Every structure is written in C-alpha cells, then in structure tokens.
Amino acid sequence: MPPGDGSRAHRYDGPVDEVAVVTGANSGIGRATAVYLASHGYQVYGTVRRLDSATKLNAMADAAGTKVELVQLDVADDDSVRTGFEHILGSAGRVDVLINNAGVGGNAVVEECDPASFLEVMNINLCGAVRCTAAVLPQMRARGSGAIVNISSVTGRIAALAQAPYTASKWALEGMSEELAQEVAPFGIRVVIIEPGITKSAIFAKNTDLPNTTGAYQVHYDRMFQMYAAGIPQATDPAEVGKVIHDAITTPNPKLRYPCSWGSVELIRGREAIGDEGWVDLGRSEGDAYYDRFQEFSGLDIRPA
C-alpha cells in the first residue's frame, strides 16, 4: 500500500496474522484488549512491568484458546521501552498496531497537588505513550501503514472534579494525539483516541488516595467518589472496549475519537451543551442541587443512595 492511502489501512476480512502491542496488558482494558485481538488473529505482545504478575492474563488467553506474548516493559522508563521494543521488533519483525494503554490515576484538587505528582502521572500517561509511539513509527513509516491507538478517558474531554493530575495528563494525551494524527496521515498511519467512561477495572480499587491537606475541598472529593460509586455498578465490561478498538483499527471509515463505556457519551455531549460558563457555575451548586444539575446536563443520576 503506497504511503498516504490511509483509506485502505487496516481493513481486515479474516485472520490477520499482524502484530499488535498492548501496553499495560496486565489488567482492565489492556488485558481484555490483548486477549480480544489475539482471538481475532493478531499476534499480540502484551507489556507488563512484572512477568510473574500476569497469571490472570495467561489464564484468560488460555480460556479463549489463544496466546499473548509477554514482554517486560515499564513505559515510564526510556531504557525499558527501548529494550522492550527491540525485543518485539527483533522477534516479530514489525509492529502493525500499537495500543498505548498503560496508565495510572491521580486524585487531587489543584491546590493540594504538588508539581512532582503532576509530573509523575504525566510521565506515565503522556510520556509513556510518546516513548512507545516513537519506538514503532520508523518501521510504520517505511511500510506506509500502521495504527496507533491512545487510550485516553472521558476526562480527556471534561475536567473531572478532584482528579487534577489525571485530567491534565489525559488532556495532554488528546492534544498530542490530534497533532500526531496530522503528522502521520501522509504515511498511511491511522491514529485513534479511545475515550472510555467507567469500565470494570482494578484501577478503581487502587485509586482511592487523596491528599485533602487543607480540608477545604472535602465536598469536591465526595462528589468525585460519588460519581464512581454510581458508575461502578453499571461499569462496562472491558472486552467491549476491546471490540471498539478492533472496530476502530479495521473500519474503512475511521474516526479520530471513540467515546465508549458507561457515562462517556453522555458526559461529553452534556459538557458541550452546558458550555464553559455553565460548567463553572455547576461548581457553585450546593447539596442536592449539584446532583440535580449534574443530571440535567448529562442525563446521569449519580445521587447518593
């Protein structure tokens, strides 16, 4: 396929036998996507920080009658990314699809979040994707085809309350992805942004820390946790996100952004409708009025039970 013919990139009708790399493949969306793609004919390399922690990933792949090749890799470390992708390219010879999924959460209001915490989250959620993307682009450009999928979040489109470092990292990832999409379009490379809402994942159980150093923002933290308390019982199975990713890299009519999972479409549309001034004014709401207005703009009822 000649460079620039992006309309033909990644349209598959049967077993593809192409190479996909999924970072952060040990849990949640990454694990489900790795198994989903492997079961659809891809040769999948799943990166994990510790090989001995991938028991559930291996079990899921076995149950699906497929295999995910494990690669030890830490997206936050230059040397680890370089070594990991040297191994993948040396073994497989190519990477057709890169899914930048590895990430961490981060709870804090801006006043209570020190710059080092912002940088730590940014190093993983943004710079990790940049490192891995730079590792695969030369051989994608040489072939004139490929797909790079960046797992953002609904918080990449709305400023999620009391999650300042996480929100900042996902907004940055979205901006980088938009620019990247234009940069690599002439080479026939597709860029996809996936924007999940609440999806079944271990990240929620791990993401409970908060500084609350001033005591002035307890209401903000309560509202943030209430959003997840309402959404987790209705959380989308991560395999559904894997299907969205597969569709996004195979469709002959690709889009840049794909909102998916519980709450994502509603929140993005609601945020666009309420406008900037309405969004700021929502923060002034007190007590039950906040949840009433939240439902008005999003259609989501997140009131405490």
Select which of 36, 42, 45, 166 is catalytic. Answer: 166
Confidence (pLDDT) at 261: 97
Average pLDDT over residues 62-78: 98
Confidence (pLDDT) at 201: 81
Indicate whether 48 pLDDT > 50: yes
| Contact between 148 and 98 (Cβ < 8 Å) | yes
Average pLDDT over residues 247-262: 98
pLDDT digits (tens, 9 = 90+) for 105-130: 999 999 999 999 999 999 999 999 99
Nearest by Cα to 151 from 38, 21, 251, 45: 21
Q: 201 in a domain, yes or no?
A: yes
User: In sequence order, which residues have a C-beta less than 8 Å from that of residue 50 and are 6 or more positions away?
Assistant: 72
C-alpha angle with apex 225: 222 to 231, nearest 5 degrees?
140
| Contact between 195 and 257 (Cβ < 8 Å) | yes
Phi-psi group of 191: left, alpha or beta (phi > 0 → left; psi -120 to 50 → alpha; rest → beta):
beta
In whole angstroms, how large is the CA radius of gyration of the chain?
A: 20
Each as own residue / partner, the long-range contacts of residues 289-297 (CB below 8 Å, 24 or more positions apart, any chain) are 290/223, 297/270, 297/271, 297/273
* Residue linked to tokens 């569709």: 247
Q: 109 in a domain, yes or no?
A: yes
Confidence (pLDDT) at 10: 40
Q: 102 in a domain, yes or no?
A: yes
Nearest by Cα to 135 from 192, 87, 188: 87
Residue 152 maps to which CATH number? Answer: 3.40.50.720
Indicate whether 9 pLDDT > 60: no
Indicate whether 78 pLDDT > 60: yes
pLDDT digits (tens, 9 = 90+) for 269-293: 999 999 999 999 999 999 999 999 9
Q: 115 in a domain, yes or no?
A: yes
Q: 35 in a domain, yes or no?
A: yes
Confidence (pLDDT) at 17: 82
Can 166 be counted among the known catalytic residues? Answer: yes
Q: 299 in a domain, yes or no?
A: no
Confidence (pLDDT) at 16: 65
**pLDDT range class, residue 209, cuts 50, 70, 90:** confident
Domain containing 109 equals 6-216+235-262
| Contact between 19 and 96 (Cβ < 8 Å) | yes
d(CA 44, CA 19): 6
pTM value is 0.93
Q: 269 in a domain, yes or no?
A: no
pLDDT digits (tens, 9 = 90+) for 167-205: 999 999 999 999 999 999 999 999 999 999 999 986 666
Indicate whether 153 pLDDT > 50: yes
| Contact between 101 and 23 (Cβ < 8 Å) | yes
Q: 273 in a domain, yes or no?
A: no
Domain count along the chain:
1
C-alpha angle with apex 155: 85 to 245, nearest 5 degrees?
45
Confidence (pLDDT) at 305: 86
Indicate whether 11 pLDDT > 50: no
